[in-house]
Structure 1
Amino acid sequence: MKKTVFSALLFVLFSFTNLYSQKISDGATVDVSGLAVTFNILNKESINVGGKSFDRYKVSASVTNNSGKSINMRLANAPQIVTNIGLVEVNCINATGAKLTAKKIDLKPKAQNLNVTYWAYTKEGKYESSVIPVIAGYYLDPGDTVSDNAIFIVPQGEEPNVSVRKLQ
């Protein structure tokens, strides 16, 4: 009885996680809440990994902001490590991840860099200014495009089974 309830809960959970993803094929563009996501296969080759045959695909994914609104993510005023800035996830369901290759591509907005001038003493005791670039936030203006490449390794004879979902 407990296994049946647990299995049912697991099924419902996985159903909801894939509810907002869309399939995409080579050369296709899908709209995800005003973001046009394009997926392309750039190169294919057959390889052997651990005595097994696989197909190695070099792929490219891009996202264009067609929403008519600018996407802005401002950072707090304290130093922090930012990890959740992805806009769209392009996930290869049948990728093996062999040889440290990717299983997905997270498309992220552009970084907004600022040059900050600060004053400090040098080793010689001289007080002088220096400039350091600082990321103040992330943005994607209407019409802007960001892209990324990855390597997907899939079982031989299969093409990448790719889905797209919005992260923010």
Structure 2
Amino acid sequence: MRNSIFLFVLSLISFGTFFQAQKIGDGETVDVNGLQVSLNITNKESVQVGGKPFDRYKVSASVKNSSDKSYTIRLTSYPQIVLDTGIVELDCVNATGAKLTSKKIQLKMKTQMINVSYSAYDKSGKSVSNVLPVIGSYYFDSGDIISDNAIFIVPSGEKPEVNVRALR
């Protein structure tokens, strides 16, 4: 009984997440919560994987924050590990992931680096000043653009079928 309830709730969550995604094609730009997401195929070639023919696509994705909202993660202490800095995710549903290629592209926030000065003693006992670059925050301001590339391998004769969804 518990397993069936758990599976039902998990199905509802997956079903809701599926409908939040939008399809995007080559050369298209879609609006996802005020974010302009673009996808472009930059190269296509045919390859053999395990003796079977596949098409290999190099794709470029970008997101522009066209809303008035800025996204920020401020770090409260050092070191603080932040694993989730993604803004949008593009998922190629027919990608195989063969030959260490991608199935998804996640566009992540920019990193703000801060130089921290500190004093220390060297081997001779002399005080020296050093500078250490530290991540201060992650941000994605209004008007900013983030881009990334990936390679998708799909079955021969098919084009990448890509869905995009906001992560924030």
**TM-score of the alignment, normalized to the shorter chain, above 0.5:** yes
Amino acid at match of 1:109: M
Q: Which consecutive residues of structure 2, in runs of 5 or more, have no partner in the other structure?
A: none
User: What's the secondary structure of 1:112's corresponding residue?
Assistant: strand
TM-score in terms of structure 2 length: 0.91
- Quote the offset at 1:21 in angstroms: 0.5
* Residue aligning to 2:165: 165
CA RMSD of aligned residues (A): 2.0
Percent identical pairs in the alignment equals 59
Change (3 A) 1:121 1:6: closer
- Quote the offset at 1:45 in angstroms: 0.4
Change (3 A) 1:4 1:86: closer
Q: Which consecutive residues of structure 1, in runs of 5 or more, have no partner in the other structure?
A: none
* Residue aligning to 2:140: 140
Which stretch has the larger CA shift, 78-87 or 59-68? 78-87
Change (3 A) 1:138 1:4: closer
* Distance in structure 1 (CA, Å) of the matches to 2:82 and 2:7: 35
- Quote the offset at 1:3 in angstroms: 9.6
Aligned residue pair count: 168
Aligned: 1:56 with 2:56: yes
Structure 1 runs (4+) deviating above 6 angstroms are: 1-7
Which stretch has the larger CA shift, 5-14 or 132-141? 5-14
Deviations 1:64-113 (A, max 9, x none): 00112222111121312211010000111111111111110110111111
* Residue aligning to 1:96: 96
Deviations 1:137-161 (A, max 9, x none): 1112211101000111111111001
- Quote the offset at 1:123 in angstroms: 2.6
TM-score in terms of structure 1 length: 0.91
* Distance in structure 1 (CA, Å) of the matches to 2:65 and 2:135: 21
